[in-house]
A and B are shown apart, each in its own frame.
Chain A
Amino acid sequence: MDLQTLTYLVVGSTFALYIGIAIWARAGTTGEFYAAGRGVHPVTNGMATAADWMSAASFISMAGLIAFVGYDNSTFLMGWTGGYVLLAMLLAPYLRKFGKFTVPEFIGDRFYSPTARLVAVICLIVASLTYVIGQMTGVGVAFSRFLNVSSEIGLFVGAAIVFAYAVLGGMKGITYTQVAQYCVLILAYTIPAIFISLQLTGNAFPQVGLFSNTLADGVPLLTKLNEVIGELGFASYTGHHSNTLNMVLFTLSLMIGTAGLPHVIIRFFTVPRVADARWSAGWALVFIALLYTVAPAVGAMARLNLVDTIQIGQVGAPDGNLAYDDRPDWFRNWETTGLLKFEDKNGDGRIQYYNDASQGFAAKAEEFGWKGNELDVNRDILVLANPEIAQLPNWVIALVAAGGLAAALSTAAGLLLAISSAVSHDLIKGAYNPNISEKSELLAARIAMAASIVVATYLGLNPPGFAAQTVALAFGLAAASIFPALMMGIFVKRINNKGAVAGMLTGLIFTIVYIFWYKGWLFIPGTNFAPDTPDAWVFGISPLSIGSVGALLNFGVAYFVSNATEEPPQEIQDLVESIRIPRGAGAATGH
């Protein structure tokens, strides 16, 4: 069977599975729509959380981010997993005990302030919408590369699938499709990694293979990688080349941003008990770690394979580089997408891939007759092209396509639920019409979901030029505004409405201004006040890392303002007491 047919078959059957689940898991009440009736087993929820959390960025981009930078980008690995420790210990069990349906609802009730709830709704919608754009464009890319249809049609098909299970089933439908999607994506990620690890190191566990000797010449894989890229003028893979303070703050921002992202938090509302919320965070990290411990191995091995493909002989020898006419099939396939580009700068018909920004290497390059790096590799293609580079069988390539789609669709659905529940529950029921009936609210939730899908599809078709930048915004908002408010709401009884609002606004405004200062106001090119370079950043802190500083400001301001003003009313203090103990969590589910 040829690759095209096989891919249609594999992707088609996963889609049929998702639709089947949608029909089986319809939601009949708002409790089922918002929180899957709070009947999800902690392990099931952990798996759904893992799919919810691991987006197109985790599946497609992360290994590439590590492959082309090395140690310095370990920040993504620690940051995107360390947040679960915070979730498990600081937020999830208490918010589950609180027993409501949305994150802004907790903030509004705990700080007895509609303003606080509104600020939270705005942060939630901005963070989730920006995030969803990336998922939708990811769906389009996967379709256009693997299924040979235009990315527009791909987007419509993807949106229709999400529509089916998210509008019908709400959280209930999303949960069970996410479980299926997790299985697809983790198989798609680990199977090629195992093959490649076996090929390079003979070790079936990529996590161990990364630190093993290569079969080819018996030296450790990482030593070998440092050598071959070093010969081409690249900085060492395992070395530390970036600003340490920035690395710490970036990791911290990713951690608290992860813990503060509403679409992740609401997953913990679906388990039956407080104790389950604790276990479930652990299970979520187990399923996430299966991918996250493999990703650095995929990155290092793919980089080595890539260099070995291009640099076939001695560096500098006339026949040391691959002739363009001899390029392998995967190279041709990816050239047609424009994500892999070759330009024969010195006209020798061979591909030179090296670091032409390195001054130390410039003299050598000149001596070799090289006129600049000739290969431009988009780092997002590494994971997708990996099975082809390693010459794995066609069914593995088809599976990777289905995995990429599963990662993007599962995250998109989770984000859309967070947005639609904020609209129907916080804005319509909370602010506009508190007396809305259960049936009407469920209808409103479904309409809000359908509308969010339409907006997300539109944004996916016409991604604003700043789409790639907005991830910083999503994490910045979650880290600087939502996480501190939730944590203080639980752990510091003294925080009152004034303190919380002042803290959230301070964190929010500070973070947004710092990001826009370097990246342009509303990301409009040319409107930035300073160049976005390490030299211009305050203390070398990148706009991507500023969320953690915003969070510290939020904590500080909230604390001082609260202590300078009156104590929160007695019933709020009682509320805080009650969410701190698990007993009685069952009673809250009625709502």
Chain B
Amino acid sequence: MSAGGAFPVEMTKLQRLRDAGLAAVAALLLWQAVVWVTGVPPFILPGPWRVAESLVANAGLIAENAWVTISEVMIGLLLGAALGAATALHLMISPLARRLVLPIMVFSQAVPVFALAPILTLWFGYGMASKIAMALLIIYFPVVSTFYDGLRRTDPGLLDLARTMGAPPSRTLLFLRLPAALPAFGSGLRLAAVYAPIGAVIGEWVGASKGLGYLMLLANGRAKTDLMFASLFVLALFAVVLYAAVSAFTRRMTRWASETTDGA
């Protein structure tokens, strides 16, 4: 049964991929058709072919700016995840931290992070630092709240068991609460992977001299709409790859959570 069971799954995966590909081709054809039929000028809406040409022609320029944005996002993501995880653990360990930090954190969520972008540029300058700070800020709260929630929601029965076993709280945290919270931490990381690129690009829009967000603004201002779309395409591609990579990582981290009973 197990040998036969894997094959149909592979088939549906292939089918899904084929369907997605077909849908993408159809959307591109529709786009091109709209451009032809309406005769809209390219500086308003370039066709996909023109965008592809621009992508090839400006490959060096786009790559150089993409590298900056990717670095900002990756560093922001790592720092945000690390700081968020550390905060969640701290909230779990210390009642004082819960009383002092939790209200501030909840209140700070009422401040739209985007509104902070200009001040971050003022503080950290036009370079990568202000964009990293922006990405970090935007993902910090989702990471803290999902991970902290996971840490708190350990099965009470398991905690009772640990108590009868004579486990000290620190080891209960390390060997029960922490692994039990990994699926929640994983969903926090997946959210972070979606938000971090948004944070970096907003930061670049407010003030930057490099990056895909900067390049899009520049191209837009000079009516090079094809270059704008080409940059947008690369940004979207990166965001999708990042999300897929983070998803794969979190699935690996919590493979046990998706395992189902096979009766045995």
A binds B: no
